[in-house]
Amino acid sequence: MKVLVPVKRVIDFNVAVRVKADRSGVDLTNVKMSINPFDEIAVEEAVRQKEKGKVTEIVAVTIGPAAAQETLRNALAMGADRAILVKHDAELEPLAVAKLLKAVCAQEQPGLIILGKQAIDDDCNQVGQMLAALLGWPQGTFAAQLEIQPDKIQVTREVDGGLQTVELKLPAIVTTDLRLNEPRYASLPNIMKARKKPIQEKTVADYGIDPAPRLKILEVTAPEKGRSGVRVTSAAELVEKLRERGLI
Amino acid sequence: MPSLVLAEHNNRLLDEATGKTVSAAAAVSTPVHVLVAGSDCRHVAQQARSISGVEKVLLADDPRYAGFLAEPVAALVLSLAPAYDAILAPATANGKNILPRVAAILDVPQLSDIIAVESPDIFRRPIYAGNAVQKIEAKGFKKIITVRIAAFPPAPAGGDAVIETVAAAEDPGLSHVVSENMTHSERPELTAARIVISGGRGLQSKENFILIERIADRLGAAVGASRAAVDAGFVPNDHQVGQTGKIVAPELYIAVGISGAIQHLAGMKDSRVIVAINKDENAPIFGVADYGLVADLFQALPDFEKALEK
């Protein structure tokens, strides 16, 4: 079975994000970019399923600027077999991304799509579910565990208050949560090998999808400042203060 | 035209997330209707009808909705969608799972995790783990919205809505629930607790979390954790407070051995009173704390427990 793994290039999670002075967005100049951490978990899961013999081919796909090639090389170094870069420089809304991925699916015909539950830049948590709807496929979101069987897949999902295990008909979509796995570091030989793996280049126009945003971002601002509090010198003093205020 | 709120419940009890989502919905488009989709959930509809500001409760009581699976519930919401200007759900695991399917089929964008309704067309939502806030205009199409429940007050009780039964929609038959394993804790639920005490990487091990748990039990508090503590395997994932975990706003939040990464702050900074215990006096957590104690937690926590005994 072929697995498609969509990945996104985002600001590295360690970078302190700064809002631009003109309030048009966040400052992306000279900022370290990385693969979205949840997508990295998705790549890792696809590779583990291939190692178990459940998957035959892993295709990574990203939609982004030319520099998003690095993100694909990262996925290839972890174990993806080949990659597709759909070039697009502007920001895309999740629905447009889902439509493009649907078009990629029409070409690639994967039996399973694994992707991150949310990108840590826009925090939308939408693409997997939207793609599932557009394809008419079932979805196993926020996956903590998955087991591929012939014609179906069992996904254990992180839900509020516990875990829910669902069985989905294949083809299906899985979105990854934190506990699904711990991604490997790509080894140097695999990084070298990844340079020779093929990346197919496409553009948004190739798929005939309108990339224009439908929501209008009026401004992007920094959050309100935090409080500056009282320092206490001991745990006993802390308990006293909290008791004074009737908090405990 | 009215707005529709997808109720959060467990087939027995209505979650307070519903009333908070009703508050947001009332600012977008009125009257507000609430959809209770579940199995043997008539009792939940009875609870929903007393939320102030709700005109009508739609009850879809059918075994296919028992596990709140996205495929059948989204099909149900879509069957009702033509009558509504706006469809809202709390940004819970269920809301996040179901609503994007509805938006995609309606061919409209979704607004995720809104924290403010500035006008019926203008919203605020956090991005980059709350490091920035977007002000967004959504105009000219049906609004599909998930709501950050910690950001809205619950709508008061005192309503007297009618309950109307709606027919189940066709189940696409793509998915079914195999099993559910809900955590049964004696401690209160994280998002509903009056006091939350959370531990971070500073705890160093799973065993050391007992220091947190003992204080939690003494205070009747819920136990939370930073992502670092979850990643390190100290506690299960459903304890995680932060950008990709639970968003909490209790009366008292005690952060122990948590440095205060923006991803964690995003999940607790709206708490009424925040206490930080950390040995690094420059830890960002002190920037949001009302009371800070710079100390080694392995000394401070037993001292804290002792002081509580007095």
Residue-wise pLDDT for A162-220, tens only, equals: 899 999 999 999 999 988 999 999 999 999 999 999 999 999 999 999 999 999 999 99
Beta strands in A18-101 (DSSP E): 33-35, 57-64, 82-87
**Exposed e or buried b per residue across B260-270, where buried means at least 16 C-beta atoms within 10 angstroms of its C-beta:** bbbbbbbbbbb
Residues of chain A contacting residue B130, judged by C-beta atoms under 8 Å apart: 223
Using the Cβ of A76 and the Cβ atoms of chain B, whether some distance falls under 8 Å is answered with no
Q: What is residue A231's DSSP assignment?
A: E
Strands B32-38 and B54-61: parallel
Question: What pLDDT score does B150 carry?
Answer: 84
Nearest to A247 among B136, B181, B252 (CB): B252
Residues of chain B contacting residue A241, judged by C-beta atoms under 8 Å apart: 291
Do residues B135 and A221 make contact, with C-beta atoms less than 8 angstroms apart?
Answer: yes
d(C-alpha B52, C-alpha B153), whole Å:
12
Residue type, B287: G
Using the Cβ of A32 and the Cβ atoms of chain B, whether some distance falls under 8 Å is answered with no
Instruction: State the Rg of chain B over Cα.
Output: 21
Contacting A residues, span 135-194, partner chain B, CB-CB under 8 Å = 136-142, 144, 154, 157-169, 172, 177-179
Q: Which residues of chain B have pLDDT under 70?
A: none
Of A85, A20, A4, A9, the residue nearest A217 (C-alpha): A20
Using the Cβ of A217 and the Cβ atoms of chain B, whether some distance falls under 8 Å is answered with yes
Question: What pLDDT score does B189 carry?
Answer: 84
ipTM of predicted complex: 0.93
For residue A140, give Cα distances in angstroms to A100, A102, A152, A159, B98. Answer: 20, 17, 12, 11, 11
Pairs from A22-26 (Cβ < 8 Å, separation ≥ 24): A23/A219, A23/A220, A23/A221, A24/A219, A24/A220, A25/A217, A25/A220, A26/A220, A26/B127, A26/B128, A26/B131, A26/B132
Q: Please tell me the distance in Å from B277's CA to the nearest CA on chain A.
A: 9
Tokens, residue B279: 């040995």
Question: What pLDDT score does A226 carry?
Answer: 60
Tokens, residue A139: 């979805």
Q: What is residue A117's DSSP assignment?
A: S
Residues of chain B contacting residue A230, judged by C-beta atoms under 8 Å apart: 290-292
Contact A94 B110 (CB under 8 A): yes
Is B303 buried (19+), middle (13-18) or exposed (0-12) by CB count in 10 A? Answer: middle
Question: What pLDDT score does A214 carry?
Answer: 97
Of B192, B189, B225, the residue nearest B206 (C-alpha): B225
Residues of chain A contacting residue B227, judged by C-beta atoms under 8 Å apart: 178
Q: Which residues of chain A have pLDDT under 50?
A: none
Residues of chain A contacting residue B301, judged by C-beta atoms under 8 Å apart: 235
Question: What pLDDT score does B130 carry?
Answer: 86
CB pairs under 8 A between A and B: 258
> According to the 3-state scheme, what is the secondary structure of chain B?
CCEEEECCECCCCECHHHHHHHHHHHHHCCCEEEEEEECCCHHHHHHHCCECCEEEEEEEECHHHCCCCHHHHHHHHHHHHHHCCEEEEECCHHHHHHHHHHHHHHCCCEEEEECEEEECCEEEEEEHHHCEEEEEECCCCCEEEEECHHHCCCCCECCCCEEEECCCCCCCCCEEEEEEEECCCCCCCHHHCCEEEEECHHHCCCHHHHHHHHHHHHHCCEEEECHHHHHCCCCCHHHEECCCCECCCCCEEEEECCCCCHHHHHHHCCCCEEEEEECCCCCHHHHHCCEEEECCHHHHHHHHHHHHHC
Contact B301 A232 (CB under 8 A): no
Contact A223 B132 (CB under 8 A): yes
Contact A126 B101 (CB under 8 A): no
Nearest to B307 among A26, A221, A239 (CB): A239
